[in-house]
């Protein structure tokens, strides 16, 4: 076995990366081994009633979802795994000290990633310290929910980290992940995520029977959140431009960033939040470095195009829009170009 690992290290991937891949596999399997059926958990007197209530909510959301689209339920979220940590995993993002650009990690077959995720918080901290020693700035954040998107032989479970969400947030997250089980386009990550986000939001409106006023309040909050997030992303690009000095990376990068945050970032975010009448201006409460800024440079929303497509086709309800998407997917499997290009060509 040891010889085989050494051969794999030599031929396909470094030993460090192979160790990472193995650790991720072990972590995923561990989530399955710890899983218990929802029925067993709900019958267990030792389980907190608040946790049982969350599980019951998820069961209700799942039932509503598959009945809404008249689909046969999958086994997703049929079991629950109680974690020994607050989050299911931890993402580690790194960036050079004089550049707002996420360090990319390459793996055979699956490609490159602008971050690495760890099931162990200890391993995430260990990797972050190594990157820091190597001269990178690091940003680590917890992940409370994720989906394997059928990349494993197991179905996704309910995780105790889900219980961090309130009722509406939990419903939107569950609907988002369930949407991937009924509609998925290969090699179009952005479209898949944007469609799941769009349908999960609309299903929240349906499930909780939102009134016009509630929808208005929801959209107003989303509008403000989007403006603030886009402002942070734009400022991150401004910082990147300041790091460039006639085509060469400047040496006093830390000083440039501190000056930028003090004289540009903080004042502009303060003004933006004040103009939006937002009491809690969350970007001002965070500690920023290049790695954290790099995370925001990936911000891009395709929600507007999806909404325009739905309005352009004048679909009477969400089900008919979904049926149209399925028809477009199944009827153009051999057509040229990406599915996104074909889908949005009329708008």
Looking at the fold, whether 281 and 312 belong to one and the same domain comes out as no
What's the whole-model pTM score?
Answer: 0.75
- pLDDT at residue 107 in the model: 62
- Both 336 and 283 in a single domain? no
d(CA 317, CA 304): 17
Is the pLDDT at 223 greater than 50, yes or no? yes
The parent domain of residue 338 ranges over: 304-343
Pairing of strands 79-81, 158-159: parallel
Query: Do 312 and 194 have their domain in common?
Result: no
As a whole-number percent, the residues of the chain with pLDDT over 90 amount to: 52
pLDDT at 235: 95
Among candidates 138, 140, 126, 130, which has minimal Cα distance to 96? 138
pLDDT, mean over the chain = 84
Q: Are 160 and 88 in contact (CB under 8 A)?
A: no
Which residues fall within 8 angstroms of residue 347, CB to CB, at 6 or more apart?
A: 305, 308, 309, 312
Summarize the confidence of residues 151-179 as an average pLDDT.
Answer: 86
Same domain, yes or no: 83 and 178: yes
Burial of 255 (C-beta count, 10 Å sphere; 0-12/13-18/19+): exposed
Residue 17 in this model has a pLDDT that exceeds 60: no
Closest C-alpha to 96, from 235, 308, 240: 240
Q: Please indicate, yes or no, if residue 9 is contained in any of the structural domains.
A: no
Query: Which pLDDT value is given to residue 28?
Result: 59
Kindly tell me if the per-residue pLDDT of 2 is higher than 50: no
Residue 4 lies in a domain: no
| Final residue belonging to a domain, choices 207, 232, 256 | 207
- Average pLDDT over every residue of 104-119: 71
The pLDDT score that the predictor gives to residue 12 is 44
Do 274 and 329 sit in the same domain of this protein? no
Say if residue 186's pLDDT is above 90. no
The secondary element (H helix, E strand) that includes residue 244 is: strand 244-245
Q: Is residue 7 part of a domain?
A: no
Better pLDDT: 249 or 240 = 240
Pairing of strands 111-113, 105-107: antiparallel
Answer yes or no: is 196 within a domain.
Answer: yes
Contacts of 38 (CB under 8 A, 6+ apart): 55, 59, 77, 78, 79, 80, 158
Do 99 and 191 lie in a common domain?
Answer: yes
Structural domain count of the chain: 3
- Which range has highest mean pLDDT (55-59, 93-97, 119-123, 147-151)? 55-59
Structural contact between residues 231 and 295, judged by C-beta atoms closer than 8 angstroms:
no
Is residue 31 domain-shared with residue 123, that is, in the same domain? yes
Q: Would you say residue 1 lies in a domain?
A: no
The predicted pLDDT at position 111 comes to 57
Confirm whether 5 is domain-assigned.
no
Is 155 exposed, middle or buried (CB count within 10 Å of its CB: 0-12, 13-18, 19+)?
A: middle
Looking at 54-58, 124-128, 261-265, which range is the least confident one? 124-128
If asked whether residues 130 and 180 sit together in one domain, one would say yes
Same domain for 309 and 287, yes or no, is: no
pLDDT score, position 25: 58
Where do we find the tokens 């561990």? 30
Q: What's the mean pLDDT in 259-270? A: 97
Same-domain status, 240 and 318: no
Examine the domain organization and report whether 190 and 67 are in the same domain: yes
> Residue 224: pLDDT above 90?
yes
């Amino acid at each position: 076995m040891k010889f085989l690992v050494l051969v794999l290290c030599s031929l396909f991937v470094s030993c460090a990366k192979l160790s990472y891949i193995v650790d991720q596999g072990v972590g995923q399997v561990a989530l399955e081994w710890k899983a218990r059926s929802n029925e067993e958990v709900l019958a267990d007197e030792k389980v907190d009633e608040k946790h049982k209530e969350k599980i019951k909510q998820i069961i209700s959301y799942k039932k509503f979802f598959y009945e809404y689209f008249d689909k046969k339920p999958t086994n997703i979220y049929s079991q629950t795994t109680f974690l020994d940590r607050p989050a299911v995993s931890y993402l580690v993002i790194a960036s050079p000290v004089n550049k707002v650009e996420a360090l990319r990690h390459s793996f055979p077959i699956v490609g490159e990633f602008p971050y690495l995720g760890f099931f162990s918080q200890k391993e995430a901290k260990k990797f972050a310290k190594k990157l820091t020693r190597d001269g990178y700035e690091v940003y680590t954040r917890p992940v409370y929910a994720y989906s394997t998107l059928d990349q494993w032989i197991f179905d996704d479970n309910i995780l105790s980290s889900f219980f961090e969400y309130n009722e509406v947030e939990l419903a939107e997250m569950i609907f988002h992940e369930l949407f991937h089980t009924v509609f998925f386009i290969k090699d179009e990550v952005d479209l898949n995520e944007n469609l799941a986000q769009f349908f999960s939001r609309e299903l929240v409106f349906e499930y909780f029977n939102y009134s016009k006023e509630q929808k208005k309040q929801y959209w107003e909050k989303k509008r403000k959140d989007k403006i603030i997030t886009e402002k942070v992303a734009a400022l991150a690009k401004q910082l990147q431009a300041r790091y460039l000095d006639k085509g060469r990376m400047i040496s006093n990068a830390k000083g440039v960033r501190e000056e930028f945050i003090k004289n540009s970032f903080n004042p502009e975010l303060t003004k933006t939040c004040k103009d939006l009448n937002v009491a809690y201006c969350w970007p001002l409460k965070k500690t920023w470095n290049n790695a954290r800024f790099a995370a925001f440079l990936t911000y891009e929303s395709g929600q507007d195009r999806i909404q325009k497509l739905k309005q352009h086709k004048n679909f009477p309800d969400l089900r008919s829009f979904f049926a149209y998407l399925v028809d477009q997917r199944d009827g153009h499997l051999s057509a040229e170009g990406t599915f996104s290009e074909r889908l949005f060509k009329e708008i």
